[in-house]
Structure formats: structure tokens, C-alpha cells
Amino acid sequence: MSPASAQGTAFKQAVAEAAAQDPDIAAFYQANGYDSIWTGKGRDRNRRTALIQALSSAGNHGLPAARYDVAGLQAQMKAARTPRDRGLLEVEISRVFLGYARDLQTGVLIPSRVDKAIVRDVPYRDRGSYLTNFAKSSPKRFFRALAPNTHEYTGLMKEKLRLERLLAQGGWGQVVPAKTLKPGASGASVVALRDRLVRMGYMKRNATQSYDDKMVAAVQGFQQAHGLAQDGVAGPGTMAEINTSVQARLQSIIVAMERERWMNIARGKRHVEVNLTDFTAKIIDNDKVTFETRSVIGHRANDRQSPEFSDVMEFMVINPSWYVPRSIVTKEYLPELQANPNAVNHIEITDRSGRLVDRSAVDFTQFTARTFPFAMRQPPSRGNALGLVKFMFPNKHNIYLHDTPAKSLFGREVRAYSHGCIRLADPFDFAYALLAKQTNDPKGLFQAKLATGKEQQVDLKAPVPVHIMYRTAFINGKGQPQFRRDIYGRDGRIWNALAKAGVALRAVQG
């Protein structure tokens, strides 16, 4: 055997030996004859250079840079002398590459392990396909295509870099030493508020020491960007948000980028987006919001929080019946019926065959939550818990969008009151917007069905994807960053998990 042949054999044996620890890597190298894609010359050198550049910018994406150990990998590259060294290095580079590629494309964390209510199907790609496609691609182009190609992700990353520069400059300065400040106030606290609003970009630099009209306008601008009532008063809620640190906002941005990676899918040319923290539901056509309405989401209690997932809306039901969920029947209504058989008498009790049950003939005290044999149903009416229309994307969570008779809740700033479903402030207009794609008279069609007073199903000729999301940081249509409260504490848990995985805040000079 010639020296060159012996070296080639030693390299391939080392690759086969090291790759055996990872079935996907082993399958790739077996298919390519145990040839190098990293450790040779020419194209391999270009691939190495592109990988090192990509790994070096991992922190820009809020990824755990230490996980990829760029310095260690470069040291191994310099130290590799023998064919065996190069074979072991070849597989190590592929291992690091695969970890980075998956982290950047579909996220560092498995969402359901962080919070069971995040029941999103992350669009994981086959690991072996990363190596196969990379070997055929332009290295730089391949790395550029991994991160979500959305305005949202690009905008979040831009804001992340801006806040990191701000952090290096000391953030937004002194916190405001007051719980509440109102127009007309003056003094040191007002000066601190002025200076903080200037640093945040809501006010031009000025020498005012009183809470004047300019400060009212600046506070209103801040309130708008943070989902607060825009009254121009720096009350306790507004002040808490104003005094939130750059570090905390950076955490929200990094969490939002991770969430965006979990949703690295085509959302649909037309889709519905519900942002739970923003209490809104939107119809989006070709990346533009064409309809928006306020929403009420699930209560903060653990068993009532709205889950996060994506599905497809197939139809709407006009004049719906409300089939009371079993959890509500047993936890809320059964105790009332045991105290008074005529309680909640606007709701029908039915047996397993759907026949009405005579309340007077039943001793409700003999049943427990487990043994209660009946179902409960509220017939169509204006007082129905679902209102006059519900929008269905059949799912195992039994979550949907619907009308409600409890209209007063939409006037509140924080709207977390439901049992998990999403209530809409303008359900009729939402229906018209959906139906406008399939009829010239959406309002007429809807109202004709409504006028019957009977349950009517209207199918959507083109089903619409629905994405129930949770973003405490997002970018609006004008490219401006927006922040919302972490209503369920989910983003706090995600940040803790990211930090445990090695994601770190950083301050960037320049």
C-alpha cells in the first residue's frame, strides 16, 4: 500500500470510528465514502472559514456561543497533524455544525419541556439533510438561510444589537424614584422621568422640569409601545414598565427570537395571528395586517391559560350552542346543582344520548366530579357564552375564537378572563373579513344565517392557518419594537432555560 493510500485509509478509519457515536453523522459519511467535507483543501477550506464565521456570530442570534467552542475548534484544527487526527477532527466539526444548524433554524430549547402549555410542533429538519445539503451548497449562502427569513426575526435581531450597545453605554440611566407622576408635577422625579424618556427615544432632549404637554405626549408614546392605556399619566403600571431595565428588555428580545425559531415555517399568505400578551387577534394577508380586533384570553390560573399552537381554521358556526367543557361542568356547575337543582337553569342538562334531563327527578348530591353522568349545553341565544358566532380550527385542546356577551371586559387593559378560548371584541367584522374572500356580500351572507336563530355552519372555501402565539417583544408594521407584560410568566421560564443552556446577555461597544 502506498503512503498516500495508507494515509487515506487511516483518515477514513478514524472518521468511521468517530462517526459511529452518532447515527446521522455515520450515515452521511458512509454514503459519501468517508471523504472529507471539512478538513481537506480548496472547497473544504472555504467551508471551514464559513463555519468559523457563522459560529463566531452565534451571539448575535442569542444562541449559547460557548456551546460551539470556536476557540477550541480552531485549536483542534491547528493541532491536527496526522491523518487520524484529521479524521477525528472531521467528525467533531460535523458534530458542532449540526448542533449550531439546528439551534439556529429551530431553536435551542424543546418548548414543551419549558412549559406544557407551549404545544407547538417545532419543524425539525432531518439532521442528516443538513450535512447532505451543506456539502452541495455555497457555504455562506447555506448559513444565511438557516435563521428564520422573516421581518420579525430581522427586526428583533436589529433591536437586540441596539439594546446591547445601549447596555454598554449605561442603559437608560437612573430609574424614576416615584410610583406615580401626573401632569403638572415638578421636581427631581419629573427630571428623572424626562431623562429616561429622552434616553428611550420618546422625547427630544430638553431642560423642562415640569410634567408638561410634551412629557404627556412622550408618556403616551411609551404607553402605546408597551400596550398600556394611553392616558399620558405615569401611574404605577406605566412606571413599572418605564423602570424596567435594558437587561430585562434584552431578555424579552432573545426569548422572542427563540420563539421565532420554533415557528420557522411558512405562516400562510393569509393567516390569523393571536398574540396572547397583546390581547389581539389579527388577519394578515401577504405580511400586512388587514384586520385587527381586541381579544380576551385565558385566565392566569394554570388550568385556564390559553395554550400556544398552530392549526387551520376550517369553518365558523353562527348561532352556536355551547357544549360546556367537562372541567367547567364538574368544577363549577355540579356544586351549584348540588346546592340547588334549579341553578344555572339557562343551561340544559342532557344524557349520553343527548336527551334533556328533568332536573327535578335527579339527586345531584349522589354524584362526584368523576361519576357525574350528564353533559350540559347552552342553546343558541344572545346570552350564550359563545355569543353569536364561533370560529373553528378543530384541535385536541378544544380552543377556538368566539363572540361573547361579556363586552365590558374589552375595555380593560389586561384581558385574561376566559377558560382558555379566545374571545373577540368584533366577531362579526372578523367574520365579514374572512368571508370576503369567498363572497361579494359577506355581511349579507352572515346576517341571513344569523337571522334564522338556528345553528348554522359556514365552511371557509380556503381554510386559514391560525397561530396562537405569545410574544412579550415583537416588531410592529412600522418596524418599531413593542413590549408587553409576561402575563403567564412563560417568557421568564424560557429565559431561565436559555440561560441554563448557556445564553448570556452582552454589552457591545460601538
Q: What confidence tens digit (pLDDT) does each residue in 91-120 have?
A: 999 999 999 999 999 999 999 999 999 999
Q: Determine which of 4-18, 73-87, 280-294, 386-400 has the lowest per-residue pLDDT on average.
A: 4-18
Per-residue pLDDT band at 396 (split at 50, 70, 90): very high
What does pLDDT average to over the chain? 94
The average pLDDT across 455-467 equals: 97
Confidence class for position 2, pLDDT limits 50, 70, 90: very low
pLDDT (tens digit per residue) in 207-217? 889 999 999 99
Query: pLDDT tens digit string along 26-39?
Result: 999 999 999 999 99
Q: What is the pLDDT of residue 324?
A: 87
Q: Which three cell numbers stand for residue 191?
A: 427630571
- Three-state helix/strand/coil letters over 137-174: CCHHHHHHCCCCCCHHHHHHHHHHHHHHHHHHCCCCCC
What lies within 8 Å, CB to CB, of 16 at 6+ separation is 26, 29, 30, 34
Cβ distance 218 to 203 under 8 Å?
yes
Distance CA 257, CA 312 (A): 24
- Segment (H or E) for 187: none
Q: Which residues of 454-492 are buried (b: 16+ CB within 10 A; e: fewer)?
A: eebebebeeebbbbbbbbbbbbeeeeebbbbbbbbebbe
Rounded CA gap, 407 and 173, in Å?
Answer: 41
C-alpha distances in angstroms, 377 versus 184, 327, 349?
55, 13, 6
What CA–CA distance (Å, rounded) separates 330 from 316? 28
Does 8 have pLDDT greater than 80?
Answer: no
pLDDT at 327: 86
Q: How confident is the model at residue 5 (pLDDT cuts 50, 70, 90)?
A: low
Torsion of CA 381, 385, 386, 388, to 10 degrees: 20
Kindly indicate the confidence band of residue 53, based on its pLDDT and cuts at 50, 70 and 90.
very high
Q: How many CA atoms lie within 13 A of 408 on its CB side?
A: 0
Looking at residues 285-302, what average pLDDT do you find?
Answer: 95
**CA 271 – CA 288 distance, rounded (Å):** 10
- Does residue 6 surpass a pLDDT of 80? no
Percent of the chain with pLDDT over 90: 89
What the block records as the C-alpha cell of 172 is 437608560
Angle at 383 between CA 382 and CA 389, to 5 degrees: 55
Radius of gyration over every alpha carbon of the chain, rounded to an integer in angstroms: 29
What's residue 7's pLDDT?
56
Residue-wise pLDDT for 191-200, tens only, equals 999 999 999 9
All structural domains of the chain with their residue ranges: 3-146, 153-250+475-501, 267-321+382-470, 323-378
As a whole number of angstroms, the distance between CA 15 and CA 29 comes to 8
Maximum CA extent, the chain: 98
- DSSP 3-state assignment of 11? helix
DSSP 379-441: -SSTTSTTTTEEEE---TT---EE--S-GGGGGSSS-EEESSSEEESSHHHHHHHHHTTT-S-
Average pLDDT over residues 174-200: 95
By DSSP bridging, strand 288-298 and strand 422-424 are antiparallel
Which residues lie across from 309 on neighbouring strands?
A: 468
Q: Which CATH number fits domain 153-250+475-501: 1.10.390.10, 1.10.101.10, 3.40.50.720, 1.10.1040.10?
A: 1.10.101.10
For residue 414, how far is the Cα from the chain centroid?
18
The DSSP secondary-structure symbol of 13 reads H
Query: Is the pLDDT score of 1 beyond 60?
Result: no
Within 10 Å of residue 85's Cβ, how many Cβ atoms? 17
DSSP state of 450: H
How high is the pLDDT of residue 353? 85
CATH architecture of 267-321+382-470: Beta Barrel (2.40)
Dihedral over Cα of 184, 188, 193, 198: its sign = positive
> Distance (Å, rounded) from C-alpha 89 to C-alpha 182?
64
